[in-house]
Structure 1
Amino acid sequence: MTLAVRYTSARTLDTAPVQTSPPGPGEVEIAPAFVGICGTDLHIFHGDMDSRVSAPAVLGHEMSGRIVRVGPDVEGWAPGDAVTVMPLRWDDTCPACRNGHQHICQHLDFIGIDSPGAMQQRWTVPASTLIRLPDSLPLDQAALVEPTAVAVHDVGRAQVREGERVVVVGGGPVGVLIALAARAAGGDVRVVELNAHRRSLAEELGLSTWDPAATDVSALVSEWTADAGADVAFEVSGAQGGVETAVDVLGVR
Structure 2
Amino acid sequence: MKAVRYYGKERVQIDDIPEPQLKPGTIKIHPAFTGLCGSDLHLYYDGPESGGINPNKPHPISGETLPVVFGHEFSGTVEAIADDVDTDIKVGDNVVVEPLMVCGECAACKSGNYNVCPKMGFIGINGRGGGMSEHIVVESRWVHAIGDLPLDQAALIEPFSVAYHAVRRTGVKAGQTAVVGGAGPIGLLVAQALKAKGVKVIVSELADIRKKAALDTGVADIVVDPSKEDLAERVHKETNGVGADVAFDASGVGVVVHQLLASLKPEGKLEIVAIHAKPLTINVSEELTGGEKSMEASLGYANDHEDVIKLIHDEHIDLSKFITDKIKAENIVKDGLEELHNNPAQHVKILVQL
For the superposition of Structure 1 and Structure 2, which TM-score range results when normalised by the shorter chain? over 0.9
Query: Which residue is 2:73 aligned to?
Result: 62
Q: Of 131, 141, 146, which residue of structure 1 is paired with 2:144?
A: 131
Secondary structure of 2:78 counterpart: strand
Q: Of 158, 169, 189, which residue of structure 1 is paired with 2:170?
A: 158
Query: Which residue is 2:226 aligned to?
Result: 212
1:226 offset after TM fit, Å? 2.4
Query: Which residue is 1:148 aligned to?
Result: 160
Runs of 5+ unmatched residues, structure 2: 54-64, 268-354
Query: Which residue is 2:263 aligned to?
Result: 249
Q: Look up the equivalent residue of 1:86 and give its one-letter code.
A: E
- Counterpart CA distance in 2 for 1:169 and 1:229 is 15
Secondary structure of 2:108 counterpart: helix
1:65 offset after TM fit, Å? 0.5
- Counterpart CA distance in 2 for 1:94 and 1:154 is 23
1:195 aligned to 2:207? yes
Aligned residues of 1:151 and 1:178 also touching (Cα < 8 A): yes
1:103-154 per-position Cα deviation (integer Å, ceiling 9, x unaligned): 222222321221132111111111121001112x111111111111222222
Q: Of 75, 84, 93, which residue of structure 1 is paired with 2:86?
A: 75
Aligned residues of 2:164 and 2:190 also touching (Cα < 8 A): yes
Q: Look up the equivalent residue of 1:44 and give its one-letter code.
A: L
- Counterpart CA distance in 2 for 1:100 and 1:68 is 29
Query: Which residue is 1:50 aligned to?
Result: 49
Runs of 5+ unmatched residues, structure 1: none
TM-score by length of 1: 0.92
Q: Look up the equivalent residue of 1:103 and give its one-letter code.
A: N
Query: Which residue is 1:41 aligned to?
Result: 40
Cα RMSD (Å) = 1.7
Query: Which residue is 2:135 aligned to?
Result: 122
- Counterpart CA distance in 1 for 2:242 and 2:146 is 42
- Counterpart CA distance in 1 for 2:101 and 2:67 is 21
Aligned residues of 1:22 and 1:71 also touching (Cα < 8 A): no
Secondary structure of 2:90 counterpart: coil
1:177 aligned to 2:165? no
- Cα–Cα, structure 1 residues 95 and 158, in superposed 2: closer, same or farther, change >3 Å? closer
1:69 offset after TM fit, Å? 2.0
1:16 offset after TM fit, Å? 0.8
- Counterpart CA distance in 2 for 1:211 and 1:61 is 32
- Cα–Cα, structure 1 residues 147 and 217, in superposed 2: closer, same or farther, change >3 Å? same
1:102 offset after TM fit, Å? 2.3
- Counterpart CA distance in 2 for 1:56 and 1:89 is 17
Q: Of 92, 112, 117, which residue of structure 1 is paired with 2:124?
A: 112
Secondary structure of 2:183 counterpart: coil
Q: Look up the equivalent residue of 2:75 and give its one-letter code.
A: S
Query: Per residue, is there more helix in 1 or in 2?
Result: 2
Query: Which residue is 2:314 aligned to?
Result: none
Q: Of 235, 239, 245, which residue of structure 1 is paired with 2:253?
A: 239
- Counterpart CA distance in 2 for 1:90 and 1:133 is 23
1:72 offset after TM fit, Å? 3.6
Secondary structure of 1:251 counterpart: strand
- Cα–Cα, structure 1 residues 231 and 94, in superposed 2: closer, same or farther, change >3 Å? closer
1:99 offset after TM fit, Å? 4.3
Q: Look up the equivalent residue of 1:29 and give its one-letter code.
A: K
1:23 offset after TM fit, Å? 0.8
- Cα–Cα, structure 1 residues 182 and 200, in superposed 2: closer, same or farther, change >3 Å? same
